[in-house]
Amino acid sequence: MGFKQKKVGLSAIDPEDDTYRITTQTSIDDLVDSIKDIGIINPPFIIKKKTEYCTVCGFRRIEVGRCLGWRNIEAKILDADTKNLECAKLAIADNLLQRPLNLIETSRSIHLLSDCLDDNRSLVEFASSLGLSKNPSMLRKVEKLYYLSRPVQNCILSNTISLSIALELSLLQTEAGIAFAALFENLNASLSKQREIITSVREIALRENISILEVLQDNDLCKILNHTEIDRTQKTQKIRIYLKARRFPAIANAEKVFQTHLKDLKLGSGVKLIPPPNFESTTYTIMLYFKNLDELEARSATLDSIIQNPILNKIMG
């Protein structure tokens, strides 16, 4: 791989060609002062493509030059016959030398290599030699992130969603994935709750024969999200309850009736009546909490009162 170093007009470098862009960093503030004071120590690599040059590595350095009003920039011009694979390796290595790559940068790297190679074995070999994963399955999983919409990718970068959730969103239509990303960014819910919400929404869409996006854009759900007097944790809980009620209306109604009767029972402290899971059986559980024999005797009296209360018959059905 040969190159020659010389000054090149910035107007001759295509600012829209991101073929070899790896970095997700868009800010150049950290570079402006340094380059203004001492110039560019490591000139960017570029290669001629038709009438303009394409940046191989050094996107931010070139952007700083434009920001500072330079007309020309010192650059390393790769030979025109340099293969895409060599350009890809150079772009990846240049970024890896500066910092560990995040998931989106890794996905861009894998995609670049994958575009140049015909089989998994070669991909694994090149990825491994560059310090990326040696696991073929993981390489393909991470590459899928490259095709996700920018809002979903941003949620990955901010650690709002994990790789596993991102892969689930990759199976959905773009608009649905974006809507989920916006929802999770609003809620800041845990991985398990995110997965529960995705499952509930998908099942509701299937049950009601509507799109996932329609479920996510429902007025009642939006009201919860836009509520200004509750925090993220409360919003998450209310949304989970709302989705469960919509997904299982019979169970939700049974729960509502149970809670009404439970209130009328007036159990007091130290006594807890637990219904069967999802009201799918007739087995109820009563738990008594006590610290001494006097409290146990009081709980026993409460228990006798509950047994005689006709409301219990309504609960038991």
Domain boundaries, the chain: 1-83, 100-147, 148-247, 258-316
pLDDT, tens digit (0-9, with 9 covering 90-100), for 203-243:
999 999 999 999 999 999 999 999 989 999 999 999 999 99
The whole-number pLDDT of residue 118 equals 81
Burial class of residue 299 in the structure, from the number of CB atoms within 10 Å of its CB (0-12 exposed, 13-18 middle, 19+ buried): buried
- pLDDT of 19 > 90? The answer is yes
Question: Which two tokens mark 104?
Answer: 């989106």
188: confidence class by pLDDT, cuts 50, 70, 90: confident
Q: What is the mean pLDDT of residues 118-123?
A: 86
C-alpha dist (Å) from residue 138 to 20, 93, 164, 177, 179: 22, 20, 11, 21, 26
- pLDDT of 79 > 80? The answer is yes
- Was domain 1-83 assigned CATH 1.10.10.410? no
Contact status, residue 1 vs residue 82, Cβ threshold 8 Å = yes
With a pLDDT cut of 90, the percent of the chain lying above it is 63
User: Taking the model in full, what pTM does it have?
Assistant: 0.80
Chain mean pLDDT for the chain:
91
With a pLDDT cut of 70, the percent of the chain lying above it is 100
Q: What is the mean pLDDT of residues 275-300?
A: 88
The whole-number pLDDT of residue 164 equals 95
